[in-house]
Chain A
Amino acid sequence: MRVAVIRFPGSNCDLDMMAALKTIKGIEPDLVWHEDAALGRGGYGAVILPGGFAFADRLRAGAIAANSPAMAGVKRLADRGVPVLGVCNGFQILVESGLLPGALLRNSTLKFVCKWTHVRVENTRTPFTSGLSEGQVLSMPIAHGEGRFFLPHAELAELEKNGQVAFRYCDSSGRTTPGSNPTGTLHNIAGVCNKAGNVVGLMPHPERAAEALLSPLGHPDGALVLSSLLVRSGGRRRA
């Protein structure tokens, strides 16, 4: 499967993402500049928006990148059901482009939080969780200043009802406690998906946890998120 990793001016996790994807047999990643027309004619099976500080977070994290030429192409692919993953700043871009609901506001502590977290898999019907099991606890690091997911009360209830929460921060045993919520994010939300399930955003960095050597626990949990792309729901490997 060919996977496009979009590079914006200010992306800084693009090469880590490329390196992580290259370790997964069956995935061929391409780095695509955000003004490049390659996305439309690339025959990509998935698109990933990596982390960083696109356009230096000017106006608001993700707000300017959301209007960049690549995002028009990403929207077209997303409408056709192509899997799209946004990590950290990529999640912020997906939210600002309207591909995912809500807003990612300044952390309640006002601090940039850089630490390893546990997240619980809440739904396995997305292309980035299909290789995982519901309730599975993953260890991945976060590094962001704006990751407090917010939606007005009624819309949040709707999101929960639709099963659009993909990941929640939790403790090591999978309990969603206030102490395991690093940013004040509503309902401990670490990642969400769109209604169709093909567009996913998450704040933790799977590419920074894709090899055992990178993880303090020695678990390459991030690779499980990325390699889910090759697993159809039901556990069968994609052709």
Chain B
Amino acid sequence: MAFFTTKGRTFEVSVVISNKPGVREPEGETILHDLVAKSGFEQVESIRAGKYLRVKVVAPDPASAKKLVEKMCNELRIFNPAAHSCEVSIGRVPGQ
């Protein structure tokens, strides 16, 4: 009897956690006011710091990889929904 499994490929998924609009983000403010604006980059209007996770995940396709990471972020509260937004996006796709 034929037995066939597909483990899939390894995809890189990016997770960016940042304070929601309207929630003060003092680290970005400090980078802007005490470094960037004082160093001749007056065109820079706003900086928001956050947290970045680069996740490698085995999945059959990019959409499934993204869905799995979204599920992980929600179930494990990788972000705090009261204050943070969480953006999940597909990074490097193998073979492309």
Contacts and interface: CB of A to CB of B under 8 A. Distances in A.
Tell me whether A and B are bound partners. yes
Interface of A: 59-60, 63, 66-67, 95-96, 98, 101-103, 105-110, 150-152, 155, 184
Given A98-B77, A105-B83, A151-B82, A110 B23 contact: no
Given A103-B82, A150-B82, A151-B82, A66 B26 contact: no
Contact of B80 (A67, A96, A110): A96
A67 B76 CA distance: 7
Contacts of A103: 80, 82-84
Nearest to B53: A59
A105 B77 contact: no
Given A150-B82, A151-B82, A152-B82, A106 B77 contact: no
A101 B82 contact: yes
Contacts of A109: 26
Contacts of B20: 152
A151 B84 CA distance: 11
B27 A110 contact: yes
A150 B77 contact: no
Given A67-B76, A108-B26, 14 more contacts: A60-B51, A63-B78, A67-B77, A95-B80, A96-B80, A101-B82, A102-B82, A102-B83, A103-B80, A103-B82, A103-B83, A105-B19, A108-B24, A155-B82
B contact patch SS: loop
Interface residues of B, number: 15
Residue in A67, A103, A107, A108 with the greatest tally of chain B CB atoms within 10 Å:
A103
Contact of B77 (A66, A110, A151): A66
B74 interface: no
23 contacts: A59-B78, A63-B78, A63-B80, A66-B77, A95-B80, A96-B77, A98-B77, A101-B82, A102-B82, A103-B82, A105-B19, A106-B27, A107-B26, A108-B26, A109-B26, A110-B26, A110-B27, A150-B23, A150-B82, A150-B83, A151-B82, A152-B82, A184-B24
Contacts of B27: 106, 110
A105 B24 CA distance: 9
Contacts of A106: 26-27
B35 to A, nearest CB: 13
B30 interface: yes
A101 B20 CA distance: 16
Contacts of A96: 77, 80
Nearest to B49: A106
Nearest to A103: B83
